A and B are shown apart, each in its own frame.
Chain A
Amino acid sequence: MKKTSWVGVGRALLVNAGIVLLSAWIGVSLNRAFVAGPQQSTFTYSKESGKFQPVKASEGQTTEVLEGVRLQDVRGIISSRSMVPVDGRSEAEYENGHLPGAYSLSVTNFDKRFPQFSAEHPKEGAYLIYCGSGQCGLSRQLAALLQKKGYHQLKLYSAGYNDWFLAGNPVEKGKGGSLK
């Protein structure tokens, strides 16, 4: 009796290991580009339609992106420090991980946090606005709020933190300079 139950456990482990391995093989094979990366931003903001639209690979650099920037551009911006990244997500999300050097300016706490932001960042400066992903909408809201306050050199990284993280780029954790 005891022997039979161990045979059953062994068979269950074998079957389950088979399912997991087969799933991993199929999943990775079908999504090789996604798994291997580096990732391309999948959304961009079109001023004409006023909507976020998938970036077509064939369009490449010739896509007319008036407000949006893509992953490869963001890498350059971060390394050259030519713009200040501004994170529109909640403070908790920011603390969990954000773009290097990003400033936390949560849309939900905008009125409370803006005075500190404006004291440290001039209106003439250039800012890279982002949130979680192309679907979160917070970056657009933050850009609109900042424009009302007289900030006009804004770029939108619509694919956001998720895109940056999934591509394996370095992220910073904790409160950073902005929340201290």
Chain B
Amino acid sequence: MNQRWHSQLICFGRFMLGLVFLYASVGKILDPKGFAENLIAYRIFDSPQMLKYVAVTLPWIEWFCGILLVLGAFVRSVSSLTTVLLFVFLAGMVSALWRGLEIHCGCFGSQHETIGALSLLRDGFFFLVSLVVFLSPVDPYSLQGFLNNRRMRLVDSSS
């Protein structure tokens, strides 16, 4: 019972994280220039060319992570990537606050959300969820879990 409850919780976390990544990617995919302008405000990139590559690539990384997490495919690999991404986002926001920058976070595309405690808490929460999903066994409700179980049943029945 406890194990089942744990699996359901992990499944919920994975699904929620996937939806958040999908939602976050769409606005940026539709408006890469707006996202690039958000990135300029962070004052991290000196090269405009590098910034443009990041602005057009990152949203698609988020989209792929989102769709794979929702489906439950390559869960460990993808959740390791989302954990790293969320850590980088968190570090970027902390660094901006540290330098006294009052800028839009650009977390969900062109929405004008200024970086503050709420953005940090939200990103920190998703970072923890991602870390838990990465460290936990793959839940049986995911595509990967379903295929694993099926393979094990086939092995059991053949032996």
Contacts and interface: CB of A to CB of B under 8 A. Distances in A.
A12 B37 contact: no
A42 B51 CA distance: 18
Contacts of B105: none
B43 A27 contact: no
A23 B57 contact: yes
A126 B36 CA distance: 31
- Give the most central of B64, B68, B101: most A CB within 10 Å: B64
Contacts of A24: 53, 56-57, 60
A70 to B, nearest CB: 15
A132 B43 CA distance: 13
B81 interface: yes
A16 interface: yes
A20 B60 CA distance: 8
Given A12-B76, A16-B77, A19-B81, A42 B33 contact: yes
Contact of B57 (A27, A96, A135): A27
Contacts of A42: 33
- Give the most central of B32, B33, B51: most A CB within 10 Å: B33
A34 B57 CA distance: 12
A28 B68 CA distance: 21
A11 to B, nearest CB: 7
A173 B111 CA distance: 29
B61 A23 contact: yes
Q: How large is the interface on B (under 10, 10 to 19, 20 to 34, 35 or more residues)?
A: 20 to 34
A60 interface: no
Interface stretch (A72-80, A110-118, A148-156, A160-168): A160-168
Nearest to A134: B37
Given A23-B64, A166-B51, A35 B40 contact: no
A166 B81 contact: no
Interface string B66-91: 00100000101110110000000000
Interface in A118-156: 132-133, 135
| Interface residues of chain B: helix, strand, loop or mixed (majority) | helix
B65 interface: yes
A7 to B, nearest CB: 12
B27 to A, nearest CB: 14
A12 B57 contact: no
A30 B40 contact: no
Interface string B132-158: 000000000000000000000000000
Contact of A22 (B52, B60, B74, B77): B60
Nearest to B46: A97
Interface in B39-64: 40-41, 43, 48-49, 51-53, 56-61, 63-64
Given A23-B58, A135-B37, 16 more contacts: A12-B76, A12-B77, A16-B78, A16-B81, A19-B65, A20-B57, A20-B61, A23-B60, A27-B58, A27-B60, A31-B56, A35-B52, A97-B43, A162-B36, A166-B51, A168-B48
Pairs A-B, 5 closest by C-beta atoms: A23-B60, A27-B56, A15-B77, A12-B77, A23-B61
